[in-house]
């Protein structure tokens, strides 16, 4: 159905990518498919030890003798689905449909991040009519779960000095910088005890939040399901001595949590008051978030009595530590209006089988600030005796506003759209800074079509923008020829 949309070749290649499961760290199938794609065109195909793929295409038309241009996208996608969606990301392709001016997926992430970027590059590789310079098409792995592909990009694979990263999500923007990031991962053995007698058990649910990309959407004021849940749990214990049996909140490290669940018990004599308090507090939180998260749902349902609950001292320590964590925007940039400088996202909290697991991601365009907020999260957990490990550290990409490529891209943009682009830096993590560390001296920009709701089941791509951006990309490649 999507292949009836224009440009047909881009939608065909996007559909081909989305037919193959491509979770981070599970990209073997998609990488093999891309290699076969290049080989079927008779092009030179390279791979490094990590599995990153480079496909080289000679210049075409007036670009035969032009300088080499690197076009880059990542092959993995964020796997998120609604709780009521029956879908196996390991075996199924994404189920897409047209909804007015958008293409969406049925209850899951769409994979437009960064499948659309990869689809454009594949289309350039197979198109025999375009004027373009020699192309080095770089497809990296594991961008969403630590940027491993870019970090381990093999030597001797690239010759180009111009890099077009196709991972920006607004056709009006040309991105020239991004934040760095670091994961803070927490584990802790927990002390459990038998569930008290004469209790009533509940399943406490927080769902219906918009979630989204923990970098690009962090400034929108959307609720974090984990933080909301622990707000409820903190009061549940302090007012009613509620006990916690288990927690399952959030999902991927780079997604704002949309759902969180807790198994709890309350003394049966306090059950009625507890229910009323959760209802009242839940309604207050809904009012607070009615603009950003109008579909927030907080409710209790009766559940089976659990065998064990957290020891009181353990529960108090964990609840207080997580409730106190910095979350959301920590500081706005003093140099670039409207840009988030530093943030933190509490992405995952799991209490199961006597263990705590927590994952969060701190971002900043200032390296010292990134480590400061990561250390603040670390300190909260170290104070309760948890083991804390930082991982996935990657640098930001420093803007170069005098870039020759940028000036050229602005001129072409104005010619195509008859308006000026928004030139900015973003709070998301892009691979440009890392790739430049592996291949120094690159002149880089990041561009792309309109994608909204990335990293959530609300992810969608605007149909008209896909064609608009294709026209811009063709004009830009022609001008570089």
- Of 371, 394, 417, the position where a domain reaches its end is 394
User: How many H helices and E strands in the chain?
Assistant: 11, 25
Residue 150 has a pLDDT of 96
Same structural domain, 366 and 400: no
pLDDT in tens, 298-329: 999 999 999 999 999 999 999 999 999 999 99
Token output for 180: 């760095």
From the CB of residue 357, how many other CB atoms can be counted at a distance below 10 Å? Answer: 15
- Of 361, 394, 427, the position where a domain reaches its end is 394
Residue 382 has a pLDDT of 97
Same structural domain, 133 and 57: yes
Provide the sign of the torsion angle of the four alpha carbons 463, 467, 468, 472, taken in this order.
Answer: positive
Out of 194-203, 381-390, 425-434, 444-453, pick the least confident.
Answer: 425-434
β-strand partners of 72: 138, 165
Confidence of residue 23 (pLDDT cuts 50, 70, 90): very high
* Pairing of β 451-452 and β 460-462: antiparallel
pLDDT in tens, 417-434: 999 999 999 998 899 999
Range list of β-strands (E), 286-441: 297-303, 308-310, 328-332, 340-352, 355-364, 387-394, 422-426
pLDDT in tens, 39-58: 999 999 999 999 999 999 99
Q: Which residue has the higher pLDDT, 35 or 255?
A: 35
b or e along 31-41 (b: 16 or more beta carbons within 10 Å of the residue's beta carbon)? Answer: bebbbebbeee
pLDDT average, residue stretch 373-383: 97
pLDDT at 386 over 80: yes
Same structural domain, 322 and 377: yes
Domain tally, the chain: 2
Residue 252 has a pLDDT of 84
The CATH number that applies at residue 453 is 3.40.630.10
Is there a contact between 11 and 466 (Cβ–Cβ < 8 Å)?
Answer: yes
pLDDT average, residue stretch 11-20: 97
The CATH number that applies at residue 351 is 3.30.70.360
Query: Catalytic amino acids?
Result: 76, 143
pLDDT at 1 over 80: no
pLDDT in tens, 216-253: 899 999 999 999 999 999 999 999 999 999 999 998 88
Out of 221-230, 333-342, 446-455, pick the least confident.
Answer: 333-342
Same structural domain, 222 and 156: no
pLDDT at 273 over 80: yes
Considering the chain, what is the average pLDDT of its residues?
Answer: 96
Same structural domain, 187 and 332: yes
Same structural domain, 85 and 165: yes
Q: What is the CA radius of gyration of the chain?
A: 24
Containing domain of residue 475, as a range?
A: 2-179+396-479
pLDDT average, residue stretch 392-401: 89
Helix (H, G, I), strand (E, B) or coil at 60: strand
Same structural domain, 278 and 361: yes
Residue 201 has a pLDDT of 98
β-strand partners of 250: 348
Same structural domain, 149 and 288: no
Same structural domain, 18 and 141: yes
Residue 145 has a pLDDT of 85
Closest by CA to 454, choosing from 291, 217, 293, 145, is: 217
pLDDT in tens, 134-178: 999 999 999 998 899 999 999 999 999 999 999 999 999 999 999
Interacting residues of 433 by C-beta distance below 8 A, sequence separation 6+: 178, 180, 394, 395, 396, 397, 398
b or e along 19-28 (b: 16 or more beta carbons within 10 Å of the residue's beta carbon)? Answer: ebbbbbebbe
**Burial level of 335, CB count in 10 A (0-12/13-18/19+)?**
exposed
The Cα 410–Cα 412 span in angstroms is 5
Same structural domain, 192 and 246: yes
Same structural domain, 169 and 190: no
- Of 394, 418, 434, the position where a domain reaches its end is 394
* Pairing of β 422-426 and β 173-178: parallel
Residue 335 has a pLDDT of 80
Is there a contact between 381 and 186 (Cβ–Cβ < 8 Å)?
Answer: yes
The Cα 179–Cα 398 span in angstroms is 9
Same structural domain, 201 and 299: yes
- pTM, rounded to two decimals: 0.81
Residue 392 has a pLDDT of 87
Cα within 13 Å of Cα(84), Cβ side: 2
pLDDT in tens, 53-68: 999 999 999 999 999 9
pLDDT average, residue stretch 197-205: 97
pLDDT average, residue stretch 355-383: 96
Is there a contact between 426 and 143 (Cβ–Cβ < 8 Å)?
Answer: no
Share of the chain above pLDDT 70, in %: 100
Is there a contact between 326 and 373 (Cβ–Cβ < 8 Å)?
Answer: yes
Share of the chain above pLDDT 90, in %: 92
């Amino acid at each position: 159905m999507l292949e009836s949309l224009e440009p047909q070749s881009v939608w065909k290649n996007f559909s081909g990518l989305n037919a193959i499961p491509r979770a981070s760290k599970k990209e073997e199938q998609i990488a093999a498919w891309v290699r076969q794609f290049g080989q079927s065109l008779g092009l030179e195909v390279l791979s490094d030890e990590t599995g990153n793929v480079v496909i080289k295409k000679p210049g075409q038309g007036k670009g035969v003798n032009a300088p080499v241009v690197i076009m880059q996208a990542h092959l993995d996608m964020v796997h998120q689905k609604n709780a009521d969606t029956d879908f196996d990301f390991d075996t199924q392709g994404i189920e897409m449909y047209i909804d007015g001016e958008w293409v969406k997926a049925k209850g899951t992430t769409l994979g437009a991040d960064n499948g659309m970027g990869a689809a454009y590059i594949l289309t350039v590789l197979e198109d025999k009519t375009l004027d373009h310079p020699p192309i080095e098409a770089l497809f990296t792995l594991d961008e969403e779960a630590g940027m491993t592909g870019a970090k381990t990009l093999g030597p001797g694979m690239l010759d180009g000095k111009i890099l077009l990263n196709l991972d920006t999500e607004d056709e009006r923007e040309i991105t020239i910088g991004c934040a760095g990031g670091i994961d803070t991962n927490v584990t802790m053995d927990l002390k459990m005890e038998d569930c008290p007698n004469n209790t009533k058990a509940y399943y406490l649910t927080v769902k219906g939040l918009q979630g989204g990309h923990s970098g690009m959407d962090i400034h929108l004021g959307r609720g974090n399901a984990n933080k909301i849940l622990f707000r409820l749990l903190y009061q549940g214990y302090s007012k009613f001595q509620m006990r916690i049996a288990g927690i399952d909140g959030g999902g991927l490290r780079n997604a704002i949590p949309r759902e969180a669940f807790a198994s709890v018990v309350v003394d049966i004599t306090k059950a009625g008051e507890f229910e009323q308090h959760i209802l009242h507090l839940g309604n207050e939180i809904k009012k607070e978030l009615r603009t950003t998260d109008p579909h927030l749902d907080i409710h209790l349902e009766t559940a089976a009595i659990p065998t064990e609950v957290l020891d009181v001292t353990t529960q108090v320590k964990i609840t207080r530590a997580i409730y106190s964590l910095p979350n959301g925007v920590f500081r706005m940039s003093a140099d670039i209006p409207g840009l988030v400088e530093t943030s933190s996202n509490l992405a995952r909290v799991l209490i199961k089988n006597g263990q705590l697991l927590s994952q969060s991601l701190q971002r900043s365009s200032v390296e010292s600030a990134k480590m400061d907020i990561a250390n603040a999260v670390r300190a909260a957990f170290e104070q309760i005796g948890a083991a804390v490990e930082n991982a996935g550290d990657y640098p930001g990409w420093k803007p170069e506003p005098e870039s020759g490529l940028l000036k050229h891209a602005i001129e072409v943009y104005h010619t195509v759209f008859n308006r000026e682009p928004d030139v900015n830096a973003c709070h998301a993590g892009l691979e440009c800074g890392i790739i430049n560390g592996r291949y120094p001296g690159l002149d880089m920009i990041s561009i792309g079509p309109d994608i909204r709701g990335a990293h959530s089941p609300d992810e969608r791509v605007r149909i008209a923008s896909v064609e608009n951006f294709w026209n811009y990309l063709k004009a830009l490649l022609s001008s570089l020829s």
